[in-house]
């Protein structure tokens, strides 16, 4: 493999070469750093790049025994997630220069498995609405999405093979869609959240970005300890449920074209393919998620709100004010509504193995003032179901887009296997190629 091809290679293929000692960790880190030097001045995906620390760790790994399944793989960590050796600012000037005393649990697990933290990637302010400086690698005049902006952009631009993110509303799936990479949001509670800045206690989920489904499956297996998630597990064709959701009217022509493309390819090869009949109250999930997030954020960010209100952005102040206006009794009622919908939604998986749904209303919007609308992700985040974004299409303007697969609670391993099945048919042999430089 040519040195120049390394930044475009998926983590699963790189891991195999690193395990066999056909590739040195230092060589891979240097290749990523070269790509960062080329693309980062324009894209601004990183809050911090730790070149010297990463190279030093790579040399240690090259000189010793194979550390684990992620041995020598460079990793980006969303700047919402604590790192003991690098600043963690949570996307806010309040925490400029802040140094946590410990790694977040997911970071510690990645390091234990041999991953090399190459840097911290840009997040929106406390994973909410105020964008950071990151630009879309496919067109720098467009948003990369949020809140895991830097993680998605860095993987899409070939600066990293893997990056951690988080999702409370749509902060993994939407930027994966806008940047054209695989995004995986595990089921709620599958990954530890210790050391991750809380926004909404009943919604926050650690997820990640990769170039292929196998890459995401590798990281998922490491972080959960569930070997059923490892790539390479064959699976029969799924019974595919078509779920455009009650918000389908918000999907633009590009998303509708991707939907038609997916159906034309997958429907003839699926074990079954049928429209999903959603519970009557399903349309309430998106507004419920939004209100729950506001209520819980106003409490999770109580100290920042009380002591540094002037340093919070206007959109965040508005969100917190909205949350404070929601009483505890109202919040409990909303949680009960969500809970009541879990059983009828779970029943959908009696007749469908996996649901096909939109990831975003369309391609990444122009401008950097907004990170886009998470409307198509809110219901699944409210329910805590696992989701995978499949990047297989492009809009009329050339920007990437795709669709998401949604799995049953506890079926993360089957969801990833069926995502691999789908991608093999939608984009056979595809790998994420870094966009041309602007």
Q: Where are the domains of the chain?
A: 3-280+341-426
Report the percent of the chain where pLDDT is more than 70.
Answer: 97
27-62 residue pLDDT tens: 999 999 999 999 999 999 999 999 999 999 999 999
Residue 433 pLDDT class (50, 70, 90 cuts):
very low
How much is the pLDDT for 413? Answer: 96
pLDDT (average), residues 264-279: 98
Residue 127 Ramachandran class (φ > 0 left, ψ -120 to 50 alpha, else beta): left
pLDDT at 232: 78
5 — pLDDT class (breaks 50, 70, 90)? confident
**Res 8: pLDDT:** 84
Q: How confident is the model at residue 430 (pLDDT cuts 50, 70, 90)?
A: low
pLDDT for 4 equals 67
121-174: pLDDT as tens digits: 999 999 999 999 999 999 999 999 999 999 999 999 999 999 999 999 999 999
This prediction has a pTM of 0.97
Q: Let me know if 53 is exposed, middle or buried by CB neighbors in 10 A (0-12, 13-18, 19+).
A: middle
What pLDDT is stored for residue 7 in this prediction?
82
Q: What local confidence, expressed as pLDDT, does residue 429 receive?
A: 63
How much of the chain, in percent, has pLDDT values that exceed 90? 94
Q: What is the DSSP string of 143-198?
A: ---SSSHHHHHHHHTTS-SEEEEEESSSTTHHHHHHHTSEEEEPPTTSS--TTB--
Predicted pLDDT of residue 398: 96
Report which of 102, 106, 75 is spatially closest to residue 88, judged by C-alpha positions: 102
- Report the Cα 368 to chain-centroid distance in Å: 19
pLDDT per residue over 231-261, tens digit each? 976 789 999 999 999 999 999 999 999 999 9
Predicted confidence band of residue 428 (pLDDT cuts 50, 70, 90): confident
Per residue in 280-332, pLDDT (tens digit) is 999 999 999 999 999 999 999 999 999 999 999 999 999 999 999 999 999 99
- Between 429 and 337, name the one with better pLDDT: 337
CA atoms within 13 A on the CB side of 314: 1
CATH label, 3-280+341-426, candidates 3.90.1300.10, 3.20.20.70, 3.40.50.300, 3.40.50.10540: 3.90.1300.10
- Active site residue ranges: 78, 147, 171
Sheet holding 354-358, edge to edge: 46-49, 116-121, 74-78, 162-167, 205-210, 182-185, 387-394, 400-406, 354-358, 239-242, 272-275
């Amino acid at each position: 493999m040519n040195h120049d091809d390394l930044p475009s290679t998926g983590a699963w293929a790189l891991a195999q070469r690193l395990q066999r000692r056909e590739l040195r960790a230092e060589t891979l880190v240097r290749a990523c750093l070269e790509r960062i030097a080329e693309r980062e001045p324009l894209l601004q995906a990183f809050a911090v790049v730790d070149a010297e620390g990463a190279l030093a760790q790579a040399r240690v790994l090259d000189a010793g025994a194979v550390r684990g399944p992620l041995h020598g793989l460079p990793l980006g960590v969303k700047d919402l997630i604590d790192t003991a050796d690098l600043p963690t600012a949570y996307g806010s000037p309040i925490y400029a220069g802040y140094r946590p005393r410990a790694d977040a649990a997911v970071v510690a697990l990645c390091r234990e498995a041999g991953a090399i933290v190459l840097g911290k990637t840009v997040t929106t302010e406390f994973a909410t609405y105020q964008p950071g400086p990151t630009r879309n690698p496919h067109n720098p005049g467009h948003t990369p999405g949020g809140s895991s902006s830097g993680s998605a952009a860095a993987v899409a631009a070939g600066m990293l093979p893997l990056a951690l993110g988080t999702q409370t509303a749509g902060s993994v799936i939407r930027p994966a869609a806008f940047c054209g990479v695989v995004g995986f949001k595990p089921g709620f509670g599958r990954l530890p959240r210790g050391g991750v800045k809380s926004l909404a206690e009943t919604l926050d989920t650690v997820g990640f970005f990769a170039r292929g489904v196998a890459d995401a499956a590798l990281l998922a297996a490491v972080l959960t300890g569930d070997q059923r998630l490892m790539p390479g597990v064959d699976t029969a064709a799924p019974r595919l449920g078509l779920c455009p959701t009650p918000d389908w009217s918000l999907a633009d022509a590009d998303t509708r074209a991707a939907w038609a493309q997916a159906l034309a390819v997958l429907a003839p090869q699926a074990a079954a393919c049928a429209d999903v009949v959603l519970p009557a109250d399903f349309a309430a999930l998106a507004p419920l998620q939004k209100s729950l997030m506001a209520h819980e954020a106003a409490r999770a960010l109580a100290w920042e709100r009380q002591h540094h209100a002037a340093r919070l952005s206007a959109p965040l102040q508005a969100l917190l004010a909205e949350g404070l206006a929601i009483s505890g009794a109202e919040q409990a009622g909303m949680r009960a509504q969500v809970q009541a919908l879990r059983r009828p939604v779970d029943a959908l998986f009696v007749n469908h193995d996996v649901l096909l749904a939109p990831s975003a209303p369309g391609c990444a919007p122009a401008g950097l003032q907004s990170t886009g609308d998470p409307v198509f992700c809110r219901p699944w985040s409210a329910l805590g179901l696992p989701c995978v974004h499949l990047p297989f299409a492009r809009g009329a303007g050339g920007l990437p887009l795709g669709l998401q697969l949604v799995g049953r609670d506890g079926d993360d391993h089957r969801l990833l296997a069926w995502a691999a099945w789908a991608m093999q048919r939608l984009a056979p042999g595809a790998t994420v190629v870094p966009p041309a430089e602007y």
